[in-house]
Amino acid sequence: MNECLLRLHDERFELEDYQSGVPRWCSGCGDNAILAAVQKLCRDESLHPEKTVFVSGIGCSSRFPHYMKTYGFHGIHGRALPIAEGVRMARPDLHVFVNTGDGDCCSIGAAHWVHAVRYNMDLTVLLHDNEIYGLTKKQASPTSPRGTRSNTTPRGAHLEALNPLTVTLGIQNVSFVAQAVDWIPEVLYQIVKAAFHHKGFSFVRILQRCPEWLPELFEPYVKDPRKTLLLKHKDGLQLSEAIARTYSNNREHDPASLAAAREMATQVDPIPVGILYRNEAVPCYEDLRRTTKVRTADLIRSGLEAEFDKFTVWPCTRN
Amino acid sequence: MHSELNAQLAFHLTGVRGAAGLEPVEGLALQPALLAPYRDLGALRYDFPLVFTKDAVRPLSELVDEALKDVADERVRARALRREREIRARVSGGLGGRLGSLWDIEPKLADGDLADCDAALPGRFVLNAWNRVQAARAGAFHAEADGLIARLAGILAADHVHSDAGRTAEALARSLAARDDSFDTAALSRLLARALPERRLPAARRNRIRSALAVLKARPSYHFVFENCAAALRALQERRPALIDLAKAMAVARLEAGGEYVEAVHDAVFREFGESAVDPALAPACLVRLDARGLLAPENAGLGDLLASRLPVKILVQHEDILDWSAVANTPAFGARARAVAGMALGLNEVFVLQSSASDLYRLSSRITQAFEYAGAALFNVFCAPYLVAAAAMESRAFPAFSYDPSAPHAARFSLENNPQPERDWPLHPLSYEDAEHQRVSEETPFTLMDFVACDRRYAEYFARIAPGRANGEVPSLPMVDAGNRLHRVIVGDPVAREARRCLDAWHSLQARVQRKTFVEERTVAAPVAAPPPVAEPEKPAPASDAAYIETPRCTTCEECVKINGRVFVYDANKQAHIADIKAGSYRDLVEAAEACQVSIIHPGRPLDPGEPGLEELLQRAAPFL
């Protein structure tokens, strides 16, 4: 009955229903493409804005919630994931997205990232990986390729870049890992959609151009379609005729195989794009641990009182 | 020989035991030869007694096997098996009790009530399953209702905070938990009253929430187990208005809690809210336990009404005697009453039907749970008798087991899987004996309805023992054994043989339902839904080489072009750029946009205005993007 009632009241949304302000990202920034893909997903899935929340940390990517006309939480550096986990635990009725950058997730937030993968809570995590700290004007991030010259590495980065895909795929309970690039919008949309529909921690690394600080980093890949390897499968990415024609470098990859995913994740050139791994059978932490207690106002008040009482210093009696 | 045959035929047809060579079976304590190994059930390990533990119903033998799985000490094993045998003998002697009080040895077993295969078992078994299913369902329902109450109360509380009454000094003092006068709540109240006008929920919404809340808080508690149809029908009718109110309150509360109530749409729906809108899963299923002997005219009509109600009413009809005698003609009508009850339910097509002997109820546990989880009515048609009789009823097709699940796809609705050798007419078993020459003879012997009837002394007059080797194909006969394990041949009277034929015919009807199932499967496979032909993407006409264009599907929404000229370059519904009005800008705009485009998808074409300044330079810059 209720479903019928809900259908009666179903609303159609337009892209504008999710747009909030004009993004302050630099012209040409790849974040715009991610924003467009996510807004399109919200519209196509008819996500109610008041039932959707975007949580972010700090960085260019993390301005994302400001540009979505939904609930948002612009958190503190590296802490997007714990905040999102709290939201997911307390409000299972919300669609929770996380926008994080390569610095936010893979440096200061690395510990949270590792454990969030293991917890496998139902979150759609978009790692905007431009391989540089852009907001603070060009410092090397953990994913900057070796040799990247930046304000903190004027002679070039000394270390090999951290690979977020292999790290994620190495963690217990990993359930969804994909890689997308901002410059193939159709594929980006398809991957974000698959991530949204996955029940569990869906981790999408999106290689994102930073035309301001690393304008040449992805240019060869943007210009030459053969430098992108599209991973297609009946349970993964399905290529339209137009995409298959342009990106002829594609191959079958079964997202069910963790070993194959790990092998594919190590590849850097050509860039593998698609769903590397998906396992619906991994349990979600919130399902294992969610309380069955009804959170009434009294229960919340008494819990808070109990916590506050631990720190209360009772005032002295006035003379 | 001819006179012997005539005598046998005469007995078969008339029941008159006139000639010598035909002996009555009364007093011989004969039983069907295939049942001989089961004479001393106490020495055998089988499904009984059952133990009703806290979470499940399990055979004692299974519990013991599980506990002994890792026990290597032979003395412990022997003692446990001996104790199991003693408990089985005690329970089959009519003494029940708690397993815990009888099992004071190692290894430890889960405690629970012991139950044998008797008249009390079906009611108890079904009630136990009902309790388990309802506990889970009621838990989920109450959790949701309590959650909704909390959400609705939260909405009203927020409304109160925004009202003038919620902003008085006293109310603020309460909400701030002020313990002394260090906080001037009166000043705060004045400040709030000046700064913020009262913002209340619309009165209609507040009243709607209040009334839904009141119904949810006052949800009634009912008794759901009945011993007759009339009481169940009466209760269902009396509770109907309250149930509709509750369903309506739940639906309103769900919408209000989610902020999805739209008055223009939902007010009309809830004005017309009636029984058809009630989710059948909302109310607990009623359980009605009936004795087949009490199914007289009014009760029988009530049974039909309940089964046809589509309500979640689960009815147990318990048959303690299936060798009925026709109420009208003076002839046997074995199993007729049970067949009539099951037939009525099957005929309704929407009733979950489960038929079984009490001896096999345990093996049908998951089916019984399914029947309780089914949204509509369910019928449990159960024959209860001491274990061997109940099991023999199933073995002989006198009371075949079957299930019909209307919620399953057509091909999987009807199942005979729990019967012995369901593909045969009668189950066949090897019978080994020693013949007159002391030679071992082994032959496949069917277990038929006649064997089952031969177990019942009330029908002894329809059986006559004949001399060894005198059986012939003309008159049906059975192998039976006496208390000394000597084999006898017994011929069967026509009334019983006729019932066996009717029983076989009924069995064939059940088998035909399975064959129909196969037919449905074949039809489904044979006529697959034709897949629509793949729709080729229409090829867009290639733009003329001198016209400007954008490969819109490849646009990454990077804002470059729209910032250069937001009238020429415009985003479409997918936020991807296209050229909206080429005359709204210059050729320079097109060329600069092509250069700025991150993915090089803007093609400036040829200039429209041949007089545009700096055209020569622009054409050179445009060349890579043409």
Q: Looking at this predicted complex, what is its ipTM?
A: 0.80
Nearest to B277 among A1, A30, A32 (CB): A1
Q: Which conformational region is residue B60 in: left (phi greater than 0), alpha (psi within -120 to 50 degrees), or beta? A: alpha
Lowest-confidence pick of A6-20, A85-99, B575-589: A6-20
Domain covering A13-283 in this structure, CATH number: 3.40.50.970
A 10 A CB-CB count for B594 gives: 24
* Mean pLDDT along residues B170-194: 85
Q: Is A306 on the interface with B (CB under 8 A)?
A: no
- Find the residue in A nearest to B268 (Cα): A5
> How far is A244 from chain B, CA to nearest CA, in Å?
13
Under an 8 A CB cutoff, do B558 and A35 touch?
no
Residue numbers in B near A315 (CB within 8 A) = 180, 182
User: In terms of pLDDT, which residue wins out, B450 or B524?
Assistant: B450
Domain ranges of chain A: 13-283
β pairing state of A52-56 and A95-101: parallel
Under an 8 A CB cutoff, do A240 and B537 touch?
yes
A 10 A CB-CB count for B76 gives: 15
Cβ contacts below 8 Å, chain A against chain B, sum to 107
Q: Which conformational region is residue A271 in: left (phi greater than 0), alpha (psi within -120 to 50 degrees), or beta? A: beta
Please answer whether residues A56 and A63 qualify as being in contact, where contact means their C-beta atoms are separated by less than 8 angstroms: yes
Query: Considering only CB atoms, which residues of chain B are within 8 Å of chain A?
Result: 143, 146-147, 149-150, 153-154, 157, 180, 182, 247, 250-251, 254-255, 258-262, 265-266, 269, 277-279, 536-537, 553-560, 563, 573-576, 596, 598-600
* Mean pLDDT along residues A160-187: 97
| Predicted confidence (pLDDT) at residue A200 exceeds the cutoff of 70 | yes
Under an 8 A CB cutoff, do A292 and B143 touch?
yes
Domains of chain B: 2-38+424-523 (no CATH), 49-116 (no CATH), 549-625 (3.30.70.20)
pLDDT tens for A95-150 read 999 999 999 999 999 999 999 999 999 999 999 999 999 999 999 999 999 999 99
For A71-134, the DSSP string reads EEEE--TT-HHHHHHHHHHH-TTSEEEEEEEHHIIIIITHHHHHHHHHHT-SEEEEEEE-SSBT
**Can you give the pLDDT at residue A316?**
61
| pLDDT interval class at A9 (50, 70, 90) | low
Nearest to A27 among B146, B255, B559 (CB): B559
- SS3 assignment for A165-196: HHHHHCCCCCCEEEEEECCCHHHHHHHHHHHH
Say if residue A270 is preceded by a cis peptide, omega within 30 of 0.
yes
> How far is B294 from chain A, CA to nearest CA, in Å?
38
A 10 A CB-CB count for B332 gives: 19
Q: Rounded to 10 degrees, what is the CA torsion of B127, B132, B134, B140?
A: 180
| Predicted confidence (pLDDT) at residue A68 exceeds the cutoff of 90 | yes
Hey, of A4, A5, A228, A301, which one would you mutate to test binding to chain B, going by the most B CBs within 10 A of its CB?
Answer: A5
**Can you give the pLDDT at residue A3?**
58
Under an 8 A CB cutoff, do A15 and B269 touch?
no
Residue B153 sits at the vertex; the CA angle it makes with B149 and B155, to the nearest 5 degrees, is 120
pLDDT tens for B470-529 read 777 778 888 888 888 888 888 888 888 888 898 899 999 888 888 765 555 555 555 544
| C-alpha to C-alpha distance for B100 and B478, rounded to whole angstroms | 45
Q: Please give the model's pTM, rounded to 2 decimal places.
A: 0.69
> How far is A192 from chain B, CA to nearest CA, in Å?
15
Which residue has tokens 């916590």? A307
Nearest to A36 among B150, B261, B575 (CB): B575
Under an 8 A CB cutoff, do B180 and A315 touch?
yes
